[in-house]
């Protein structure tokens, strides 16, 4: 793999809390520009911890994270500030992630304020952001509780994309939604990826969803990376017994309803 195809690279990533067991143990992988890398594994296997280390929201105990060739862990606070614009995250719970006391207008304008982008985040721009995620300007003056779960996740996505990042961590973004609503959000994420050339790390429990959205998939078991490969290959011919069990444990989505619509 040519180095300029790689956006994010980890080497020997370790996380240990206190004297406990390693929750992430010697994890190395690369995420290519423009791809969606799936990250699967049962609850507690360390997926979110890996993602948080990639974003430097959690400091690794050992190992290396390179982002666009830059050593993220050695970056100064000024450099880190610039990097943070380029990487975003969308979490599972679309309600918890939105401040209930802020109107959608304020929620969407916040990233511009945080990064002191003067003149940006004006009303016209916010309306464009809403349209991109399938909402209209009537949303601007409303509060998060006035929206359904799927709509709230769309607002989260609009906010995550406000500063035009290149890399987005999707941490179980549709797990809290009904299957058909989740399928619509997944299709939106895929469309936005094509439109903006985004690179995704998609954390999920659902092998069918991973297969639908991801180019490659990495499988974690108890802090270790046990398998990484092309999605179709891993789903059809899993090399590791643990991957086989994960696939067997996830029911097919009913006729992939909604996904191809
Ligand atoms: N701040 C912390 N202090 C101590 N242990 C932690 C901390 N954060 C996470 N852990 C532990 O690290 C392990 C991995 O957690 P992590 O959330 O990364 O797993 P996960 O694969 O994302 O799980 P899930 O699918 O449930 O989100 C778990 O055993 C968890 O209890």
- Burial of residue 122 (CB within 10 Å: 0-12, 13-18, 19+) is exposed
What are 194-216's pLDDT values in tens digits? 999 999 999 998 888 999 999 99
Nearest CA to ligand 1 atom 4: 17
User: Which segments of the chain are extended strands (E)?
Assistant: 6-16, 22-32, 36-40, 62-67, 70-71, 87-90, 167-171, 199-203, 216-221, 224-230
- pLDDT of the residue at 1: 56
CB of 154 within 6 A of ligand 1: the answer is: no
Block residue for tokens 């009904």 = 178
The best mutation among 46, 91, 169 to test binding of ligand 1, ranked by most ligand atoms within 8 Å of the C-beta, falls on 46
Running along the chain, 261 residues long, what does each successive block of 10 average in pLDDT?
82 96 97 97 95 95 95 92 91 83 94 76 91 96 95 95 95 92 96 97 92 96 97 94 89 53 42
Domain range list for the chain: 6-249
CA 60 to chain centre: 19
| Interacting residues of 53 by C-beta distance below 8 A, sequence separation 6+ | 10, 13, 15, 24, 59, 60, 63, 65
Helix (H) or strand (E) holding 110: helix 104-114
Helix (H) or strand (E) holding 83: helix 77-86
Q: Residue 23 Cα, ligand 1 centroid: separation in angstroms?
A: 7
Q: Residue 3 Cα, ligand 1 centroid: separation in angstroms?
A: 31
CATH number of 6-249: 3.40.50.300
| Predicted TM-score (pTM) of this structure | 0.92
- pLDDT of the residue at 249: 85
Q: Hey, what long-range contacts does 54-57 have (CB within 8 A, 24 or more apart)? A: 54/8, 54/10, 54/87, 54/169, 54/201, 55/87, 55/89, 55/169, 56/80, 56/83, 57/89
Q: Two tokens at 25?
A: 């143990």
- pLDDT of the residue at 25: 97
CB of 15 within 6 A of ligand 1: the answer is: no
**Predicted complex ipTM:** 0.96
CB of 223 within 6 A of ligand 1: the answer is: no
Burial 172-182 (b: 16+ CB within 10 A, else e): bbbebbeeebb
Q: Which residues pair with 88 in a beta bridge?
A: 168
């Amino acid at each position: 793999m040519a180095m300029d195809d790689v956006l994010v690279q980890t080497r020997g990533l370790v996380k240990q809390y206190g004297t406990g067991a390693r929750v992430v143990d010697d994890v190395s992988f690369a995420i290519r520009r423009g791809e969606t890398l799936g990250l699967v594994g049962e609850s507690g296997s360390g997926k979110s911890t890996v993602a948080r280390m990639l974003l430097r929201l959690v400091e690794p105990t050992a190992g290396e994270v390179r982002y666009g060739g830059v050593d993220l862990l050695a970056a100064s606070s000024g450099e880190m500030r610039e990097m943070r614009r380029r990487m975003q995250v969308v979490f599972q719970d679309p309600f918890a992630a939105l401040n209930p006391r802020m109107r959608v207008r304020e929620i969407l304008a916040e990233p511009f304020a945080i990064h002191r982008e003067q003149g940006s985040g004006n009303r016209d721009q916010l309306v464009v952001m809403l349209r991109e995620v399938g909402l209209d300007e009537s949303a601007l003056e409303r509060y998060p509780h006035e929206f359904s779960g799927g709509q709230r996740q769309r607002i989260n996505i609009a906010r995550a994309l406000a500063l035009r990042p290149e890399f987005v961590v999707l941490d179980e973004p549709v797990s809290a939604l009904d299957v058909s609503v989740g399928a619509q959000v997944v299709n939106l994420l895929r469309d936005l990826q094509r439109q903006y050339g985004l690179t995704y790390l998609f954390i999920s429990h659902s092998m069918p969803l991973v297969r639908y959205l991801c180019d490659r998939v990495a499988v974690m078991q108890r802090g270790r990376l046990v398998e990484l490969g092309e999605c179709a290959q891993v789903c059809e011919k899993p090399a590791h017994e643990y991957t086989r069990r994960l696939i067997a444990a996830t029911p097919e989505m009913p006729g992939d309803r909604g996904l191809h619509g």
